[in-house]
């Protein structure tokens, strides 16, 4: 809740604009300063500052609820919650129905592993009629690297749901529900997503895909890592707020980078114990880590890692509040991604966040289309 945007808290428009003009965007930004500091920075009277801080504090610190109260609240508002089925039985079971509404879900993995294919299959599922397990809505697909293929989407539909896609005009209708945007820069992307909020509600949009966030940031000429983290922080806050506001799943792909020598790919609580002390091991089977860093990792609710070990593709539920870390072997066919087993293997230790690409270079993408 600390990332809640001040513009959505309900402050008087004049006060909200003053906060924005001073680059105080989130509740965390405002509450990190004293009332006197805010009064001096914003050039506003103490009474107005105290009133604004009280409203921001209430929005950022909701009252404590028991587990029973939360369950009752969820049952009462069940129509606001839900999941987008991946149509991968084992994965949907682990995620209690699929990709959850209202949060960020991340797909991370090396090039060509299947991230874009996964996204296209999700787009197809979101546009599909409810009678066949879809959401019967529209999709906004932000295709940064020009990997989206309408031909591939239709092929997946024909192979996965032949009874529907062979109906006259159905393939064209499903493909027509997916709006593809191709921003040429980070500023272009930022402008586009700021205009999306109203159109998402008006046009029954059920899924937003960003493929990939890493490419947007790497394409900018930035003076340093600090600038990049500032840009990423704003986009994290906005996307989380958009997911909560529109109650839709937002799926973002993340690439991988080479692990620095002094870097560990595990969290502190996953470090090995030796003689009662944590031992930060630096020798791993893999040298790849998620490109967007630890701040981004904390922001996403679901992290799915797609990797390859000894020529076998694997999808891992590396982070989820509703599932233990699980690994599922998969392959890619004309119907898209398919699990080789619906029974996931539970993982422990640093292997949860390690990313492997061993033998991956020898693997050929199906039809040479859209990794």
Predicted local distance difference test score (pLDDT) of residue 72 = 61
**Unique residue bearing structure tokens 């062979």:** 166
Q: Is the pLDDT of residue 169 over 90?
A: no
Higher pLDDT, 294 or 105: 105
In a domain, 371, yes or no: no
CA 331 to chain CA mean position, Å = 22
Predicted local distance difference test score (pLDDT) of residue 226 = 52
Per the omega criterion (within 30 degrees of 0), is the bond before 67 cis? Answer: no
Predicted local distance difference test score (pLDDT) of residue 220 = 53
Mean pLDDT (the chain) is: 80
The total number of structural domains that make up the chain: 2
In a domain, 149, yes or no: yes
In a domain, 192, yes or no: yes
- pLDDT confidence of 210, banded at 50, 70, 90? very high
SS3 state at 318: strand
Give helix 46-60 / helix 13-21 axis angle, nearest 10°: 90
Higher pLDDT, 102 or 174: 102
Residue 95 structure tokens: 């995620």
- Residue 73 CA to residue 350 CA, distance in Å, equals 36
If asked whether residues 166 and 314 sit together in one domain, one would say yes
Picking from 135-139, 278-282, 327-331, 348-352, which range would have the lowest pLDDT averaged per residue? 278-282
> Is 28 exposed, middle or buried, given 0-12, 13-18 or 19+ CB atoms closer than 10 A?
middle
If asked whether residues 21 and 108 sit together in one domain, one would say no
If asked whether residues 261 and 166 sit together in one domain, one would say yes
In a domain, 294, yes or no: yes
Residue range 280-291, pLDDT digits in tens: 444 334 468 887
- By residue range, what is the domain housing residue 76? 71-363
- pLDDT confidence of 162, banded at 50, 70, 90? confident
> In degrees, to the nearest 5, what angle opens at C-alpha 150 toward C-alphas 145 and 153?
105
If asked whether residues 326 and 243 sit together in one domain, one would say yes
CB count within 10 Å of CB 83 equals: 15
Q: Is the pLDDT of residue 343 over 90?
A: yes
**Unique residue bearing structure tokens 């906060």:** 19
Q: Which helix (H) or strand (E) holds 259?
A: none
Higher pLDDT, 266 or 228: 228
Q: Is the pLDDT of residue 304 over 90?
A: yes
- Residue 297 CA to residue 355 CA, distance in Å, equals 14
If asked whether residues 140 and 210 sit together in one domain, one would say yes
Domain CATH for 333: 3.40.50.300
In a domain, 370, yes or no: no
- CA max distance for the chain: 68
Predicted local distance difference test score (pLDDT) of residue 368 = 38
- In sequence order, what DSSP letters do the residues of 72-109 get, joined into one string? HHHHHTGGG--EE--S-HHHHHHTTSSEETTSEEEEE-
Q: Are the C-beta atoms of residues 78 and 52 closer than 8 Å to each other? A: no
If asked whether residues 112 and 250 sit together in one domain, one would say yes
If asked whether residues 41 and 82 sit together in one domain, one would say no
- Residue 202 CA to residue 355 CA, distance in Å, equals 39
Q: In sequence order, what are the residues at sequence separation of 6 or more whose Cβ sits closer than 8 angstroms to the Cβ of residue 181?
A: 140, 141, 142, 143, 192
- Residue 18 CA to residue 92 CA, distance in Å, equals 45
If asked whether residues 51 and 137 sit together in one domain, one would say no
If asked whether residues 217 and 285 sit together in one domain, one would say yes
Report the pLDDT averaged over residues 209-220.
80
- Taking the CA atoms of 299, 234, 202 and 70 in sequence, report the sign of the dihedral they define: positive
Instruction: From 19, 38, 60, give the residue that closes a domain.
Output: 60
In a domain, 80, yes or no: yes
State how beta strands 288-290 and 256-258 pair: antiparallel
In a domain, 82, yes or no: yes
Higher pLDDT, 271 or 156: 156
Rounded alpha-carbon distances, angstroms, from residue 196 to 142, 199, 324: 11, 5, 34
Q: Are the C-beta atoms of residues 316 and 364 closer than 8 Å to each other? A: no
Instruction: From 60, 80, 105, give the residue that closes a domain.
Output: 60
Across 94-225, the runs of DSSP E, i.e. the strands, are 99-100, 104-108, 138-143, 178-181, 205-211
Most trustworthy range by pLDDT among 93-107, 214-228, 255-269, 347-361 = 93-107
Higher pLDDT, 210 or 354: 210
If asked whether residues 268 and 244 sit together in one domain, one would say yes
Residue range 91-141, pLDDT digits in tens: 999 999 999 999 999 999 999 999 999 999 999 999 988 887 788 899 999
If asked whether residues 207 and 302 sit together in one domain, one would say yes
Report the pLDDT averaged over residues 299-310.
90
Predicted local distance difference test score (pLDDT) of residue 268 = 41
Instruction: From 60, 80, 96, give the residue that closes a domain.
Output: 60
- Residue 314 CA to residue 356 CA, distance in Å, equals 9
- pLDDT confidence of 182, banded at 50, 70, 90? very high
Percent of the chain predicted with pLDDT > 70: 81
If asked whether residues 47 and 78 sit together in one domain, one would say no
Report the pLDDT averaged over residues 191-220.
82
Higher pLDDT, 318 or 163: 318
- Residue 47 CA to residue 26 CA, distance in Å, equals 21
In a domain, 369, yes or no: no
Q: Which of 291, 173, 182 is nearest to 232 (CA)?
A: 291
SS3 state at 351: helix
């Amino acid at each position: 809740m600390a990332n809640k945007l001040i513009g959505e808290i309900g402050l008087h428009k004049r006060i909200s604009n003053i906060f924005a003009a001073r680059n105080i965007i989130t509740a965390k930004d405002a509450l990190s300063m004293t009332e006197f500091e805010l009064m001096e920075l914003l050039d506003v009277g103490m009474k107005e500052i105290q009133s604004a801080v009280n409203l921001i504090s209430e929005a950022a610190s909701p009252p404590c609820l028991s587990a029973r109260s939360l369950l009752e609240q969820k049952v009462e508002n069940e129509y606001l919650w839900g999941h987008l089925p991946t149509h991968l039985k084992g994965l949907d079971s682990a995620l209690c129905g699929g990709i959850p509404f209202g949060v960020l879900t991340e797909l991370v993995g090396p090039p060509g592993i299947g991230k874009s294919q996964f996204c296209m299959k999700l787009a197809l599922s979101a546009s599909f009629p409810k009678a066949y397990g879809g959401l019967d809505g529209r999709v906004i697909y932000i295709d940064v690297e020009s990997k989206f293929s309408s031909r591939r989407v239709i092929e997946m539909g024909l192979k996965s749901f032949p009874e529907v896609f062979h109906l006259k005009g159905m393939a064209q209708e499903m493909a027509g529900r997916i709006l593809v945007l191709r921003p040429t820069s980070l500023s272009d992307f930022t402008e586009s997503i700021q205009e999306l909020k109203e159109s998402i509600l008006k046009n029954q949009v059920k899924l937003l895909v960003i493929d990939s966030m890493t490419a947007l940031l790497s394409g900018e000429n930035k003076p340093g890592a600090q600038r990049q983290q500032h840009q990423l922080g704003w986009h994290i806050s906005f996307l989380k707020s958009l997911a909560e506001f529109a109650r839709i799943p937002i799926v973002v792909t993340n690439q991988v980078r080479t692990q620095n020598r002094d870097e560990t790919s595990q969290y502190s609580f996953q470090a090995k114990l030796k003689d009662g002390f944590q031992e930060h091991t630096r020798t791993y089977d893999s040298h790849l880590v998620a490109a967007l860093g630890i701040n981004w990792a904390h922001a996403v609710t679901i992290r799915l890692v797609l990797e390859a070990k000894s020529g076998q593709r694997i999808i891992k539920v590396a982070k989820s509040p509703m599932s233990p870390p699980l690994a599922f072997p998969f392959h890619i066919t004309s119907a898209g991604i398919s699990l080789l087993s619906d029974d996931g293997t539970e993982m422990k230790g640093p292997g949860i966040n390690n990313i492997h690409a061993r033998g991956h270079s020898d693997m050929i993408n199906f039809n040479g289309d859209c990794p």
